[in-house]
């Protein structure tokens, strides 16, 4: 199971994963920026129209320009808040559903591995990080299956006989050593 | 292999965690909108003159500045809301990213042949079901490994007798081990 190509991982633990948190941050940022752009477009057009109308009509009862557009501004801000919140909530629920689906498959795959099924693919959802995680689990399972199959083949070959006692003893000890390497 | 529905997915992400995330986002967005309101209030709250001409001129003069005022206000809102939401996302999602990262480390360690320790996550981390599932798999592998080695050790005890018995017992043990290994598919 030992693969010389793989370096032992660093012991440092970090809890920021750009591959996982990065897309989520980008998606929230897109929602906020889109909401702001729509708000700007709508409010700009409305304010221009309202101020022109107010200038012609002469609004003596209003103390400031803010008083003229207060209701309009409040309704648009409420719209911005509700829009961004709804889109953000939908994104959160999508992320939760994707995580439950992707990691659920990974958990099911690990449980199947405990039943010695190491060949059925994890099939995690095709969202970057979860797919990669599923592939890592599959790679670990595949390595284990290859190791066990090699050991089984060696055991069967030794059991078939026709080997000199010296060679048999040598391969027997080697097989024991290799079995010890399973999940050390 | 059982589907994801049987994996106890409900426990993968706690409902309170999701509600907490939604509430924090709500407060965050409300703060952003409140800030936008305050900026626009200060930008538009200059008192209007009392006479018709004064009001007319003040409002007409406001029009050219309206677009930049709105643009800057929305830009400040977007920057602050994006910044705080990003920080919130990184802070809250680390409870999902952490266990994933930890599991990746353990899987890399396992593949490199290093000693595999029992996996456990921090309190409050999500995806808790991953750790027992992985530990269960490693536990099965270790139990099988012990059984195979015990079978071989049993056969070796017969080597105290004559050579032929020893060889026959060892070959029988190897057949049992190979048969046991066949369960891996």
Q: How does pLDDT run across B140-170, given as a tens digit for each residue?
A: 999 999 999 999 999 888 777 788 888 888 9
CA B5, distance to chain mean position in Å, is 19
Tell me which chain B residues have a C-beta less than 8 angstroms from the C-beta of A109. 1
Joined together, the tokens standing for residue B28 give 């965050």
Closest residue by Cα to residue B77 from B30, B140, B25, B129: B30
pLDDT band at B10 (very low <50, low <70, confident <90, very high): very low
- Cβ A85–B26 below 8 Å, yes or no? yes
* Beta-carbon count within 10 A of B68 CB: 10
Percent of chain A with pLDDT over 70: 88
Report pLDDT for B172.
Answer: 92
In this prediction, residue B114 carries a pLDDT of: 84
Which pLDDT does position A11 carry in this prediction? Answer: 47
Beta carbons of B70 and A47 less than 8 Å apart: yes
Shortest distance, CA B160 to any CA of chain A (angstroms): 15
Q: What is the pLDDT of residue A131?
A: 84
Distance separating alpha carbons of residues B92 and B102, to the nearest angstrom: 16
d(CA B32, CA A14): 30
pLDDT digits (tens, 9 = 90+) for A2-40: 444 455 544 455 567 777 788 889 999 999 999 999 999
Residues B56-115: pLDDT tens digits?
Answer: 788 888 878 888 999 999 999 999 999 999 999 888 888 888 888 889 889 999 998 888
Q: Which residues of B touch A101 (CB under 8 A)?
A: 4, 9
Chain A positions in Cβ-Cβ contact with residue B63 (cut-off 8 Å): 48, 51-52
Chosen from A85, A88, A108 to mutate, greatest number of chain B CBs within 10 A:
A108
Chain B residues in contact with A15 (beta carbon < 8 A): 94, 97-98, 101
What is the model's pLDDT at position A14?
Answer: 57
Cα angle, residue B24 at apex, residues B18 and B27 outer, rounded to 5°: 140
Check residue B7 and give its pLDDT. Answer: 46
Contact B104 A36 (CB under 8 A): no
Compute the C-alpha angle B112/A106/A19, nearest 5°.
75
Identity of the residue in B1, B104, B136 whose CB atom sits nearest the CB atom of A117? B1
Q: Which of B113, B145, B164 to mutate to test the interface with A (most CBs of A within 10 A)?
A: B113
Counts of helices then strands in chain B (DSSP H, E) = 4, 0
- Model confidence at A94, pLDDT cuts 50, 70, 90, reads very high
Cα torsion A100, A101, A104, A108 to 10°: value is 170
pLDDT of residue B59: 80
Per-residue pLDDT at B180 exceeds 80:
yes
**pLDDT in the model for residue A124:** 66
Contacts of A22 in chain B (CB under 8 A): none
Query: 10 Å Cβ neighbour count for B154?
Result: 14
The DSSP bridge partners found for residue A105 are: none
Mean pLDDT of chain A: 86
Do the chains contact at B174 and A155, CB–CB below 8 Å? yes
Minimum CA–CA partner of A139 in chain B: B111
pLDDT of residue B5: 43
A179 interaction partners in chain B (CB closer than 8 Å): 145, 148-149, 152
Distance CA A83, CA A32 (A): 9
Please provide the distance, in angstroms rounded to a whole number, between the alpha carbons at the two ends of chain B: 12
What is the DSSP code (8-state) at residue B117? P
| pLDDT above 60 (res B2) | no
Q: Any idea which of A34-43, A62-71, A73-82 has the lowest mean pLDDT? A: A62-71
Contact with chain B for residue A138, Cβ under 8 A = no
pLDDT of residue A59: 59
Determine whether the interchain pair A156/B9 forms a contact, defined as Cβ–Cβ distance below 8 Å: no
Number of Cβ within a 10 Å radius of residue A76: 21
Angle, helix B52-111 to helix A128-159, in steps of 10 degrees: 10
**Is B4 in contact with A16 (Cβ distance < 8 A)?**
no
How far is it, in rounded angstroms, from Cα B19 to Cα B95?
A: 14
Task: Please state, in angstroms and rounded to a whole number, the distance separating the CA atoms of residues A114 and A109.
Answer: 9
pLDDT for residue B143? 94
Cα three-residue angle A103-A109-A115, rounded to 5 degrees? 145
CB B59 within 8 A of CB A67: no
The per-residue pLDDT for range B20-73, each reduced to its tens digit, is 999 999 999 999 999 999 999 998 888 877 777 777 788 888 878 888 999 999
Predicted confidence at residue B35, as pLDDT, reads: 93
**Is B171 in a helix, a strand, or coil?**
helix
ipTM exceeds 0.95, yes or no: no
Q: Which residue has the higher pLDDT, B27 or B122?
A: B27
């Amino acid at each position: 199971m030992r693969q010389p190509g793989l370096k032992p991982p660093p012991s440092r633990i970090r809890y920021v994963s750009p591959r996982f948190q990065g897309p989520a941050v980008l998606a929230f940022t897109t929602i906020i920026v889109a909401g702001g752009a729509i708000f700007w477009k709508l409010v700009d057009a409305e304010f221009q129209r309202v101020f022109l109308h107010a200038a012609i009509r002469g609004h003596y009862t209003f103390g400031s320009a803010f008083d003229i557009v207060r209701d309009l501004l409040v309704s648009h801000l409420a719209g911005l808040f509700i829009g961004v919140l709804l889109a953000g909530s939908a994104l959160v629920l999508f992320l939760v559903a994707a995580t439950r689906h992707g990691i659920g498959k990974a958990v099911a795959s690990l449980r199947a591995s405990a039943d010695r099924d190491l060949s059925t693919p994890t099939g995690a959802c095709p969202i970057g990080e979860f797919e990669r995680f599923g592939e890592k689990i599959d790679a670990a399972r595949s390595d284990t299956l290859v190791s066990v199959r090699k050991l089984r083949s060696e055991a069967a070959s030794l059991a078939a006989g026709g080997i000199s006692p010296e060679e048999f003893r040598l391969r027997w000890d080697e097989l024991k050593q290799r079995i010890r390497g399973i999940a050390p | 292999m059982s589907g994801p529905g049987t994996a106890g997915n409900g426990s993968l992400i706690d409902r309170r965690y999701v509600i907490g995330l939604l509430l924090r986002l709500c407060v965050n967005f409300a703060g952003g909108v409140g800030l936008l309101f305050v900026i626009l209030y200060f930008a538009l709250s200059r008192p209007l003159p009392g006479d018709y001409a004064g009001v007319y001129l003040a409002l007409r003069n406001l029009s050219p500045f309206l677009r930049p005022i709105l643009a800057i206000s929305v830009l400040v809102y977007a920057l602050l809301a994006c910044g705080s939401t990003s920080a919130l996302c990184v802070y809250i999602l680390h409870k999902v990213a952490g266990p994933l990262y930890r599991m990746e480390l353990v899987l890399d360690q396992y593949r490199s042949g290093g000693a595999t320790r029992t996996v456990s996550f921090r309190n409050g981390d999500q995806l808790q079901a991953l750790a027992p599932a992985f530990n269960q798999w490693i536990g099965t592998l270790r139990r099988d490994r012990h059984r195979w080695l015990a079978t071989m050790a049993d056969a070796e005890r017969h080597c105290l007798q004559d050579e032929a018995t020893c060889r026959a017992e060892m070959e029988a043990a190897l057949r049992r081990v190979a048969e046991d290994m066949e369960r891996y598919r």
